[in-house]
Amino acid sequence: MGYAYIFATIFFTVYGQLVLKWQVDKAGALPDETFGKLFFMAKLLMNPIVLSGFLSAFIASLFWMAAMSKFDISYAYPFMSLSFVLVFILSIFLFQDPVTIQKVLGLTLIVLGILVTSQSL
């Protein structure tokens, strides 16, 4: 069950990041003037989809606490790096983010690190 808690943490973390990016992109650029920035942020904070992203972060925290009851943090925390991999892959399809060799190499190193760390239990 401990791995389910870790992967639920990753799922809710990734969901939150992607919906926040989606809604911020939809809202446009942050204005230069202070009042405009405050209005921009307040408008985003009243957006139900943005709020779902914040709720998702809270839910991810609850699952993370459950995971911490099952594993040492030094073992479980590297799995959180999978959120980088998932956000990268999904951002290519959802936001047409560019793929570079540096990003692919970096993510490959992350995955290799997770594999090495997961063997230490």
CB 5 within 8 A of CB 64: yes
Side chain identity at residue 70, one-letter code: K
pTM: 0.87
pLDDT digits (tens, 9 = 90+) for 57-112: 999 999 999 999 999 988 888 889 889 899 999 999 999 999 999 999 999 998 89
List pLDDT tens digits, range 55-68.
999 999 999 999 99
**C-alpha to C-alpha distance for 94 and 10, rounded to whole angstroms:** 18
First-to-last alpha carbon distance for the chain, in angstroms, is 15
Give the whole-angstrom CA distance, residue 85 versus residue 91: 10
CA distance 21 to 27: 10
> What are the pLDDT digits (tens) for 24-70?
999 999 999 999 999 999 999 999 999 999 999 999 999 999 999 99
